[in-house]
Amino acid sequence: MYQILQAKELTSNIYLMEVEAARIAKACQPGQFVIVRAGSDGERIPLTICDYDRQKGTITIVFQVVGASTYYMKDLKAGDAFCDVAGPLGCPSDLTRESMEGLRKKKILFVAGGVGTAPVYPQVKWLHERGIQADVIIGAKTKELLILEKEMEAVAGNLYVTTDDGSYGRSGMVTKTIEDLVRKEGKAYDVCIAIGPMIMMKFVCRLTKELGIPTVVSLNPIMVDGTGMCGACRVTVGDQVKFACVDGPEFDGHLVNFDEAMQRQTLYKTEEGRAYLAAQEGDTHHGGCGVCEG
Amino acid sequence: MGDILKKVPVREQEAKERAANFEEVCLGYNREEAMEEAARCIGCKNAQCVKGCPVAIDIPAFIGKVKQGDIEAAYQVISQSSALPAVCGRVCPQETQCEGKCIRGIKGEPISIGKLERFVADWAREEGIKPQGALEKKGKKVAVIGSGPAGLTCAGDLAKMGYDVTIFEALHEPGGVLVYGIPEFRLPKEAVVKKEIENVKSLGVTIETNVIVGKSVTIDELLNEEGFSAVFIGSGAGLPKFMGIRGENANGVFSANEYLTRSNLMKAFSADAPTPIMKSKKVAVVGGGNVAMDAARTALRLGAEVHIVYRRSEAELPARVEEVHHAKEEGIIFDLLTNPVEILTDEKGWVKGMTCVRMELGEPDASGRRRPVVVEGSEFTLELDTVIMALGTSPNPLISSTTKGLETNKWQCIVADEADGRTSKEGVYAGGDAVTGAATVILAMGAGKAGARGIDEYLSGCARF
């Protein structure tokens, strides 16, 4: 069993939990994910690692309640436990494999959308710990749905917050902020890392391609085992089929076939099966259900 | 007494009835049937059946005990050689192994060795009889990666020799292909697989789940930091293969691994399981092996019309004859000499059909089987909502890419000595699908046994170099 040391609601429907998982805390790198099962007959749900403490032997996960399994998970408290936490899975972020000199010369922009702020955080923190300041855009639908703003502020170079409805920070989608920064505010970036709903990543990539900024995205498709066995997470990148769980989750955003990826996410979203959909996706839900406007 | 030239028939669930449930197909022998069948064995001195068994069970000895009605003694004979007799009695291809060599088979039907093994193992389980463990501990730790047939066998053998064994399993449930791959109706999970795993644990083996070796911990860390003196890699086959045809990423195309994992490991066949599985109306399973049969028979039980699409003829089907026979009885349609060329989708990206071509057999290819050749102008369309690809797997790179000095071949399989499982890295042994590519449960068990022998020689300081 994997004990929960801390559990809190970050905002409406988004929860953060610090969980004991010694092996994962020792081995994980920014960009990797875990698969959790809350109950003994529960689904396997992929969640990105938001933070880790190697001394304490804990990892932090963040999830949004969208279905049966995450609905069950939200009621877990400190002292409760997950049945299973497996990982770290996937490849570490590209950044962690670059030379420090190379990284120092780069101007890096992170774009985080919604609950995607959680997987962006450990990457920005990792850079900050190495003396590299990256710019970060956090986008949320509205002020109440914004998460990890303070934590991000502490590790980011410049932090730009934008809300779709203009209720906080800048107004509009993340793409508007990127465009404003580059076209109006004289910013230039060598690389962009975008993590959020699939539809957001698609439009960010469309824009950064136009702006000539190489862009990395982190995909979170439907998965079962997460170790390369089932092939459910296959995604077309360029002219190749890749498995997000072992080849990713990060890919060159300008080569990802987002339309196919979004279509594959609707697999269990039949009209009569919205409950199934919710159950299936956990916090990997990236829109397409007709309910969340994603 | 029946015809001495024929096997005592085994009771089965009737085809029509079983096509709609997930209960076990074969019901097995009872004590009287088993003793009657055992009486057919002539107890050859130079027993050919033993030579046909990858784990070399002393078959005439255990059958002799069954003949006498001493089932417990029969069980102890088997468990000296096999950690998973209830599994093997169900899923081994006996017709090409032990039974294929049986002298009785020359003039009639061979002894039903598999069904006898199953009876003995089931009886022992019901009576609560456990295999005998080690008398003396060696005080050395061995790590086994993967809790499938290779890993469980290797761990069981090493524990019996007195080693302190820990198995690392990537999934949340131990058993490997026995739990995620082979369906309930061929191999009951709670009643059979779990109990055999408990038997292995009762020998003193520890199983740590949710550990992905290569990610959670590396082999070098196990050897250098966690105090293991040797490692056996039995991590299994890996990534599912696809054909590379158009439409393969459409909604409704699954690998057999995914389909079976959802149904078997995640219990999606049960309506109240939280993990979903597609409710299909018409399914094509592409491939002709045991995995294809398992996927097809699972889809059938979930309520679909199911076609096996295979590019060669019936004679070349790699699946066991018994599986093909059961599949046909249950109503699976075999579209043989047929090959898919494109998966057709509707405007929302869902499968609506598959374009196929007819094939004919030409000259033998490298595998010795006659090469299928496309019949010109034979294109036709099958209307479907689901396609399951059962084309085999390619090795998972998680371990080979994170272990320095571990040699792999051009197919990315780990290179290991067949006799003792030795790899190119000292103290590291391997066997099963990770070495051979996808094969059978019993071959993996044979490799697990060889690995245990190799590790024992290595740790006793008498390994051959």
Confirm or reject CATH 3.40.50.80 for domain A98-218, answering yes or no.
Answer: yes
The torsion region of residue B323 among left (phi > 0), alpha (psi -120 to 50) and beta comes to alpha
Distance of CA A63 to the CA centre of its chain: 10
A87 contacts chain B (CB < 8 A):
yes
| Cβ atoms of B147 and B448 closer than 8 Å | no
Picking from A37, A229, A241, the nearest residue to B261 by CB comes out as A229
Min distance A267 CA to chain B CA atoms (Å): 6
User: Measured between alpha carbons, how far is residue A257 from residues A113, A196, A210, A254, B258 in Å?
Assistant: 19, 16, 17, 9, 22
Q: Helix, strand, coil proportions of chain B in percent (round to 5)?
A: 35, 20, 45
> Of A233, A230, A267, which is closest to residue A248 (Cα–Cα)?
A233
Give the mean model confidence (pLDDT) for residues B356-380.
91
Q: Where are the domains of chain A?
A: 2-89, 98-218
Q: Do B171 and A266 touch (CB under 8 A)?
A: no
With beta carbons under 8 A apart, name residues in chain A contacting B255.
230-232
Give residues 176 to 205 of B whose Cβ lies within 8 Å of A.
180
Give the mean model confidence (pLDDT) for residues B37-64.
93
For A101, other C-beta atoms within 10 Å of its C-beta total 8
Which residue in chain A has the smallest CA separation from B247? Answer: A260
With beta carbons under 8 A apart, name residues in chain A contacting B216.
23-24, 27, 86-88
Q: Do A264 and B251 touch (CB under 8 A)?
A: yes
Tell me the CA end-to-end span of chain A in Å, nearest whole number. 34
A241 contacts chain B (CB < 8 A):
yes
> Of B216, B199, B211, which is closest to residue B153 (Cα–Cα)?
B199
Give the mean model confidence (pLDDT) for residues B76-95.
89
Distance of CA A4 to the CA centre of its chain: 21
With beta carbons under 8 A apart, name residues in chain B contacting A231.
239-240, 242, 254-255, 257-258
In DSSP notation, B96-162 reads: GTHHHH-THHHHSPPP-HHHHHHHHHHHHHHTT------SS----EEEEE--SHHHHHHHHHHHHHT
**Comparing B210 with A279, which gets the higher pLDDT?**
B210
As a whole number of angstroms, the distance between CA B177 and CA B167 comes to: 15
Give per-residue pLDDT as tens, B227-262.
Answer: 999 999 999 988 999 999 999 999 999 999 999 999
As a whole number of angstroms, the distance between CA A46 and CA B397 comes to: 20
Q: Do A27 and B215 touch (CB under 8 A)?
A: yes
As a whole number of angstroms, the distance between CA B217 and CA B208 comes to: 12
CATH architecture of A2-89: Beta Barrel (2.40)
With beta carbons under 8 A apart, name residues in chain B contacting A44.
172, 266, 275
**Comparing B170 with B55, which gets the higher pLDDT?**
B170
Percentage with pLDDT > 70 across chain B: 99
Burial class (CB in 10 A: 0-12, 13-18, 19+), B273: middle
Query: How would you write the pLDDT of chain A (294 residues) with one tens digit per residue?
Result: 899 999 999 988 899 999 999 999 999 999 999 999 998 888 899 998 999 999 999 999 999 887 778 888 999 999 999 999 999 999 999 889 888 999 999 999 999 999 999 999 999 999 999 999 999 999 999 998 999 999 999 999 999 999 999 999 999 999 999 999 999 999 999 999 999 999 999 999 999 999 999 999 999 888 899 998 999 999 999 989 999 999 999 999 999 999 999 988 887 765 444 554 555 455 554 444 444 444
A97 contacts chain B (CB < 8 A):
no
ipTM above 0.90, yes or no: no
The torsion region of residue B252 among left (phi > 0), alpha (psi -120 to 50) and beta comes to left
What is residue A272's DSSP assignment?
G
Which residue in chain A has the smallest CA separation from B221? Answer: A27
Per-residue pLDDT at A247: 93
Tell me the pairing of strands A159-163 and A170-171: parallel
Which residue in chain A has the smallest CA separation from B168? Answer: A86
Min distance A197 CA to chain B CA atoms (Å): 20
Residues whose CB falls within 8 Å of the CB of residue A94, separated by 6 or more in sequence, listed in order: A31, A216, A250
Give the mean model confidence (pLDDT) for residues B195-199.
93
Q: Which helix (H) or strand (E) holds B353?
A: strand B351-364
Picking from B215, B239, B276, the nearest residue to A89 by CB comes out as B215
A29 contacts chain B (CB < 8 A):
no
What is residue B320's DSSP assignment?
-
Q: Do B172 and A276 touch (CB under 8 A)?
A: no
| Cβ atoms of A53 and A115 closer than 8 Å | no
B103 contacts chain A (CB < 8 A):
no
Per-residue pLDDT at A135: 96
Percentage with pLDDT > 90 across chain B: 78
Give residues 42 to 101 of B whose Cβ lies within 8 Å of A.
none
Backbone angles phi, psi at A162, to 5 degrees: -135, 140
Per-residue pLDDT at B395: 82
B298 confidence band (pLDDT: 50, 70, 90): very high
Distance of CA B363 to the CA centre of its chain: 31
User: Measured between alpha carbons, how far is residue A70 from residues A65, A279, A282, B305, B330 in Å?
Assistant: 5, 8, 6, 34, 39
In DSSP notation, A255-271 reads: TB-HHHHHHHHTTT--G
As a whole number of angstroms, the distance between CA A265 and CA A233 comes to: 9
Please give the mean pLDDT across all residues of chain B.
92
How many H helices and E strands in chain A? 10, 16
A68 contacts chain B (CB < 8 A):
yes
Q: Which helix (H) or strand (E) holds A209?
A: helix A198-211
Size of interface A-B (CB pairs under 8 A): 120
Give residues 240 to 259 of B whose Cβ lies within 8 Å of A.
240, 242, 244, 248-249, 251-252, 254-255, 257-258
A236 contacts chain B (CB < 8 A):
yes
A24 contacts chain B (CB < 8 A):
yes
> Of A41, A35, A92, A104, which is closest to residue A283 (Cα–Cα)?
A35
| Cβ atoms of B139 and B116 closer than 8 Å | no
As a whole number of angstroms, the distance between CA A136 and CA A150 comes to: 12
B96 confidence band (pLDDT: 50, 70, 90): confident
As a whole number of angstroms, the distance between CA A2 and CA A80 comes to: 8
Q: Is the dihedral of CA B264, B267, B269, B275 positive or negative?
A: negative
As a whole number of angstroms, the distance between CA A276 and CA A264 comes to: 15
In DSSP notation, B247-267 reads: TTTSBTEEEHHHHHHHHHTS-
Same fold, A2-89 and A98-218: no
User: Measured between alpha carbons, how far is residue B141 from residues B83, B110, B459 in Å?
Assistant: 20, 43, 10
Give per-residue pLDDT as tens, B114-164.
Answer: 999 999 999 999 999 988 877 788 999 999 999 999 999 999 999 989 999
For B133, other C-beta atoms within 10 Å of its C-beta total 13
B269 confidence band (pLDDT: 50, 70, 90): confident
As a whole number of angstroms, the distance between CA A286 and CA A116 comes to: 10
For A12, other C-beta atoms within 10 Å of its C-beta total 10
Which residue in chain A has the smallest CA separation from B399? Answer: A227
Q: Do A88 and B216 touch (CB under 8 A)?
A: yes
Please tell me the total number of residues recorded for chain A in this structure. 294
As a whole number of angstroms, the distance between CA B155 and CA B161 comes to: 10
Give per-residue pLDDT as tens, B378-391.
Answer: 999 999 999 999 99
B212 contacts chain A (CB < 8 A):
yes
Per-residue pLDDT at B432: 94
Per-residue pLDDT at A257: 95
Distance of CA B136 to the CA centre of its chain: 32
> Of B456, B399, B400, B459, which is closest to residue B158 (Cα–Cα)?
B456
Per-residue pLDDT at A147: 93
